[in-house]
Amino acid sequence: MVLRLLKYGLRSDYPVTGDIPVTPTLKPAYDVVIIGAGGHGLACAHYLSKYHGIHDVAVLDKGWLAGGNTARNTTTIRSNYITPQGIAFYKEGVTLYEAMSEELDFNVMFSQRGQLTFAHSEATLRSFHLRAETGRHMGIGIEVVDQKGVEALCPHLNMDYGGALEVLGGLWHPDGGTARHDAVAWGYAAQAARRGVEIHQRTEVTAIEVAGGRVQAVVTNRGRIAAGQVMIACGGMNYDMALKAGVELPIRCYPLQAMVTQPVKPWLHTLVSSVSLHTYLVQSSRGEMVIGGGSDPYQLYSTRSTLDMKEHLAEGAVHLFPFLKNLRLLRQWAGITDMTPDYSPIMGESPVDGLWLDCGWGTWGFKATPVAGKRMAECIATGRVPEILQPFALERFERFALLNEMGATAASH
Ligand SMILES: Cc1cc2nc3c(=O)[nH]c(=O)nc-3n(C[C@H](O)[C@H](O)[C@H](O)COP(=O)(O)OP(=O)(O)OC[C@H]3O[C@@H](n4cnc5c(N)ncnc54)[C@H](O)[C@@H]3O)c2cc1C
């Protein structure tokens, strides 16, 4: 990328390389079929083709490229989780984001401006100390800051001194940031397609054929496709998709909403989040205020947004930054999130041979796009689950070896 900048920086004939080649006709068989052309499916295809020499890959999507949660999320990237296993995994994710524009030769606009989570109670502060200790032990950037520290990092914040929601301190994570979500998906797609991976949009998987305990094929609205190996990366539809192969995942689906305001000049230079208010904010590169919070309180397969949630998010945002009351909302939207009981993903083997799971990404999977893609590609190419993924196995629920990340996930994603 640096060389290209030098070579083409002042010229008008920069060759367009971001295009995705036209999709060829669907073949009757592939070595690998990936269900879901979201960030995860596309990243896996990229790593399979670039690092493992596996090119006979089809990525199938019932809709369009990155039309699921990949382009609906609020782009928080961070590694300040609670469990050592979670931190190790997401830390690798952040490292891969740092090099992603280079890796994909595509500017994903990774902006590492840090994340600040507010504590409004002594109990929250105590939990921050625990997270900071664990995080430091695992080698990530993380520290607890006092009120002065919060004010220095976020001078526009309403500290609410003496009020019901006084900010007592914060958890500062300088490694946190954002990236442009559709650029991530398109970057992976373009790289994979250039190496022979076929991306078939409007191709819905309606059944998965299993015989003798092994996956045989997927059935689509465009016909049957035999497959040596199949990976499920269907976002909010992961539970339903796994069930097609007879695998019941411990997943329940809830809508998650977010909204953006009209753009304003840059003023919020970090990602901020309040656990007690269930509200987080980030200013996009266009200047919009992106505002999100917790999931809807009921299970539903719907991407409709609600007035209730709009009011709740607006209330939280205006409490933290009262001057935001002057901004107009531009858009509000929702995605269907596949939530696990411990707020950690399910990755690796399934009970069906040759069927791989990249599921349970709930409200937190965008940040994991590169590391999940890279490590799932390793699973498919070698037939072995790398150590870093082993704690996320489906069978952890049988062993009661849960990885509880609820406290680090609920309001920050
Ligand atoms: C409002 C919101 C905010 C979020 N904020 C964050 C955040 O700040 N940080 C973060 O890390 N995460 C966040 N997330 C979560 C994150 O978006 C997801 O975990 C992540 O995008 C999952 O990526 P994926 O590729 O697995 O799934 P998706 O991007 O959902 O892709 C799955 C694909 O599977 C396809 N599919 C489904 N069924 C079929 C079928 N039968 N046949 C073929 N294809 C099928 C879909 O069309 C879709 O394109 C947020 C989510 C939402 C909804």
Q: Percent helix, strand, coil in the chain (nearest 5)?
A: 35, 25, 40
Which atom belonging to ligand 1 lies closest to the Cα atom of 36?
A: 34
> To the nearest whole percent, how much of the chain has pLDDT over 90?
92
Whether residue 242 has its Cβ less than 6 Å from ligand 1: no
Q: Is the pLDDT of residue 27 over 60?
A: yes
Tens digits of residue pLDDT in 342-367: 999 999 999 999 999 999 999 999 99
Whether residue 412 has its Cβ less than 6 Å from ligand 1: no
Average pLDDT value for residue range 11-21 = 67
For residue 369, give the CATH number of its domain. Answer: 3.50.50.60
In a domain? residue 318: yes
Q: How confident is the model at residue 15 (pLDDT cuts 50, 70, 90)?
A: low
Domain shared by 288 and 365, yes or no: no
Which atom belonging to ligand 1 lies closest to the Cα atom of 75?
A: 8
In whole angstroms, what is the distance from residue 76 CA to residue 342 CA?
Answer: 20
C-alpha 34 – ligand 1 centre gap (Å): 14
Q: Is the pLDDT of residue 13 over 80?
A: no
Q: How confident is the model at residue 68 (pLDDT cuts 50, 70, 90)?
A: very high
- Residue 150's domain spans which residues? 115-176+253-339
In a domain? residue 89: yes
Nearest CA to ligand 1 atom 41: 205
In a domain? residue 3: no
Whether residue 115 has its Cβ less than 6 Å from ligand 1: no
Nearest CA to ligand 1 atom 2: 73
pLDDT given at position 125: 96
> To the nearest whole percent, how much of the chain has pLDDT over 70?
96
In a domain? residue 10: no
In a domain? residue 358: yes
Which atom belonging to ligand 1 lies closest to the Cα atom of 358?
A: 26
What DSSP line would sit under 61-118, residue for residue? -SS-TTTTGGGTS---B----SSHHHHHHHHHHHHHHHTHHHHHTS----B---EEEE
Q: Give SS3 for 145.
A: strand
Domain shared by 400 and 264, yes or no: no
C-alpha 5 – ligand 1 centre gap (Å): 32
More confident residue, 196 or 17: 196
Tens digits of residue pLDDT in 232-272: 999 999 999 999 999 999 999 999 999 999 999 999 999 99
Domain shared by 320 and 191, yes or no: no
In a domain? residue 16: no
Q: Ligand 1, from 69, 225, 230, 369: best to mutate by most atoms within 8 Å of Cβ? A: 69
For residue 143, give the CATH number of its domain. Answer: 3.30.9.10
Q: Which of 339, 364, 393 is the last residue of a domain?
A: 339
pLDDT given at position 2: 65
C-alpha 40 – ligand 1 centre gap (Å): 8
Average pLDDT value for residue range 370-394 = 98
CA angle 276-92-277, nearest 5°?
A: 5
Tens digits of residue pLDDT in 88-128: 999 999 999 999 999 999 999 999 999 999 999 999 999 99
Q: Is the pLDDT of residue 17 over 70?
A: no
Q: Give the mean pLDDT of the chain.
A: 95
Number of domains in the chain: 2
Nearest CA to ligand 1 atom 50: 73
Q: How confident is the model at residue 46 (pLDDT cuts 50, 70, 90)?
A: very high
In a domain? residue 9: no
Domain shared by 160 and 199, yes or no: no
C-alpha 70 – ligand 1 centre gap (Å): 5
Domain shared by 35 and 90, yes or no: yes
Domain shared by 189 and 92, yes or no: yes
Domain shared by 247 and 185, yes or no: yes
In a domain? residue 72: yes
User: What is the b/e burial string over 61-78, where b = at least 16 CB atoms within 10 angstroms of the residue's CB?
Assistant: bbeebbbbbbbbbbbbbb
Whether residue 376 has its Cβ less than 6 Å from ligand 1: no
